[in-house]
Structure 1
Amino acid sequence: MTTNRRFVMGVAAALLFGFSANVATAQAQTKELVIFAAASLKNALDEAAAAWVKETGKPAPKISYAASNSLAKQLEQGAPADLFLSADLDWMDYAASKNLITPETRVSLLANRIVLVAPSDSTAQVALTPGVDLSAALGSGRLAMGNVESVPAGKYGKAALEKLGGWDKVKDKIAQADNVRAALLLVSRGEAPLGIVYATDAAAEPKVKVAAVFPEDSHPPIIYPVAVTKDATNPDAQGFLTYLRGAGPKAAFEKQGFTVLNRPANAS
């Protein structure tokens, strides 16, 4: 092979390599931001994401909503996501224990309440006081809740009823759902006379009304942590998390009934 021919081929190879590298870089930069978020965040997070897109000109993030336990397990199984927003501390702790998040990015972002809801035309009256018995209000129906062993809202609801001394009276009349929005749907459709959901879910669904609010001391604090995942590939992951902690999304979260905490995970 002549020197000139080797030179030409070398230049071509270099140009091809550079082109391939630029394509790879462009693809990495345009890859959509993927977010795993608790189902109860949908209304507020959709609004916050839309505002972020409008303000930054970035592509709309792809948000997958489900129960926190399901999302944590998906991460563990290798599902790609850049951010994880959980509806309780336990499932974020689980993700941390499996090395699925970047610990220094973790923030306790929001707080919530759980409430007892009924269809909007219901006449049920319930007082969530010690010794509460929901059997009469349920009649032949069931109490809609997230799965009481894994879904955060279900776990909080069971804990509250146990603290109030009402769990044993209704534990055989529970309709357990895969996530809190599914439990809300059962009540909004009139398929369940009562349900336990977050206050923010009740505010988002006009076909239900709040029958009673659980005392705050009847269950562990309801905290929503967020963190960048360990295998995040989108460079906007940290930027979006920072945006969620800012003034813009605060109004969206508060409008839906969340309390904005915005504190590092190790803060008291």
Structure 2
Amino acid sequence: MSRLVKVLFALAIMGWLSSHPGFAEEKGLTVFAAASMKNALDEVDAAYTARTGVKVTASYAASSVLAKQIDQGAPADVFLSADTDWMDYATRQNTIKAETRTNLLGNSIVLIAPKDSSIDKVAIAAGFDLAQLAGSGRIATGDVTSVPVGKYAKAALQRLGAWDAAAPKFAMAESVRAALTLVARGEAVLGIVYATDAKVEPQVKIIGTFPADSHPPIIYPVAATISAGASAGGYLAFLHSQAAKSIFEKYGFTFLVRPSS
């Protein structure tokens, strides 16, 4: 093959690739995301795949579990945490690309009960007696030592003076969705979850919202992992888009960044 033919062939291939951008990058990526993001992120991922042809495989669990799995070498391109603590952990472990990190979403925590519970709306403020409200029943939330929703819940109850009395009644779950399920099934009379979780579970009702100043700000940071493939950049850009914003807000999340087009 002459040099001229080789050059023409290379130019033709480059032209074909430019008209098929998805082919030039990996056709899939893996996202590790906080359990509370499942419904919203599944829809975001479907929209991204429809637009780019890149398939997204999402793994959902407590942020603590995911951060440790990534640290142990689990293959992931993007990490979405339900708090800054576990993203800080990933930063310290050098498992994410710190320059790609942004605070993407916000949320709130609420008190829930089974849909058919006789417990009605309650005012959550200083002096709130959660232990008395629960009676002989259990209160479900994430593990207060590691799962973000549990950490937020404990911080709020301590601030309100309700933790010490209520602590023995808590059923610590492995994730916020596990806690949500306990309440939906009636295995716990109360639960503390994110507002976005309560929104997607028809078998529970919100009976109170925790004051925003009773706990640290609920922030969902996102970043590419240190081993991220070529598709991660485009995916992160889509998470910051107006299209993603509309979906996240539909599910009750607060969008913390200025959306791109």
| Displacement over 3 Å in runs of 4+ | 27-31
Q: Which residue of 1 aligns with 2:87?
A: 92
Q: How many angstroms does 1:31 deviate by?
A: 5.6
Match of 1:16 in 2: none
Give the equivalent residue in structure 2 for 1:79: 74
Aligned length, in residue pairs? 236
Who is 2:43 aligned against? 47
Q: Given the alignment, which residue of 224, 231, 238 partners 2:227?
A: 231
Q: Where does structure 1 lack aligned partners over 5 or more consecutive residues? A: 1-26, 264-268
How far residue 182 of structure 1 moved from its aligned partner, in angstroms, is 0.3
In the TM superposition, what whole-angstrom CA distance separates every residue of 1:153-183 from its partner, at most 9, and x where no partner exists? 0000000000000001111110000000000
Alignment pair present for 1:62 and 2:57: yes
In the alignment, which residue of structure 1 is the partner of 2:170? 174
Q: TM-score, normalised by structure 1?
A: 0.85
User: Over the residues paired in the alignment, what is the CA RMSD in angstroms?
Assistant: 1.6
Structure 1 counterpart of 2:240, from 226, 245, 260: 245
Identity %: 60
Separation in structure 1 between the aligned mates of residue 118 and residue 64 of structure 2, nearest angstrom: 34
Aligned equivalents of 2:252 and 2:227: distance in 1? 32
TM-score (norm 2): 0.88
In the alignment, the residues of structure 2 paired with residue 85 and residue 111 of structure 1 have an alpha-carbon distance, to the nearest angstrom, of 12
CA contact (8 A) 2:106 2:220 kept: yes
Q: Which consecutive residues of structure 2, in runs of 5 or more, have no partner in the other structure?
A: 1-22
Instruction: Tell me how far 1:257 sits from its aligned partner.
Output: 0.5
Q: Deviations over 1:168-216 (max 9, x none)?
A: 1111110000000000000001110100000000001011110100000
| Counterpart selection for 1:105 from 87, 100, 106 | 100
Taking the aligned partners of 2:216 and 2:24, their CA distance within structure 1 comes to 41
Offset of 1:238 from its aligned partner? 0.9
SS of 1:64's equivalent in the other structure is strand
Counterpart CA distance in 2 for 1:177 and 1:165 is 22
Equivalent positions of 1:115-126 (< 5 A) are: 115-125=110-120, 126=122
Shift of the alpha carbon at 1:143? 0.6
Question: 1:32: how far off?
Answer: 2.5
Give the C-alpha shift of residue 135 in structure 1: 2.2
Q: Deviations over 1:32-61 (max 9, x none)?
A: 201000000001100000011111222x21
| Structure label with greater radius of gyration | 1
Q: Residues 143-158 of structure 1 correspond to what in structure 2 (within 5 A)?
A: 143-158=139-154
> What pairs up with 1:119-134 in 2 under 5 angstroms?
119-125=114-120, 126-134=122-130
**How big is each residue's C-alpha offset from its partner over 1:137-157, in whole Å with a ceiling of 9 and x where there is no partner?**
212111101000000000000
Q: Which residue identity does 1:91 align to in structure 2?
A: W
Q: Aligned partners of 2:26, 2:218: CA distance in 1, in Å?
A: 35
The letter for the 1-side match of 2:214 is S
Q: Name the SS of the counterpart of 2:144 in structure 1.
A: coil
State the partner residue of 1:222. 218
* CA deviation after TM superposition for structure 1 residue 136, in Å: 2.6
Give the counterpart letter for 1:222 in structure 2: I
Partner of 2:201: 205
Whether the 8 Å contact between 2:28 and 2:231 is mirrored in structure 1 is no
Residues 105, 220 of structure 2: 8 Å contact kept: yes
Q: Which amino acid aligns with 2:97?
A: T
Q: Give, as a single letter, the amino acid of the residue that structure 2 aligns with 1:54.
A: A
Aligned equivalents of 1:127, 1:36: Cα separation in 2: 35
Please state whether the residue corresponding to 2:238 is helix, strand or coil: helix
| Post-superposition offset of 1:28 | 9.8
The correspondence for 2:31, drawn from 28, 35, 41, is 35
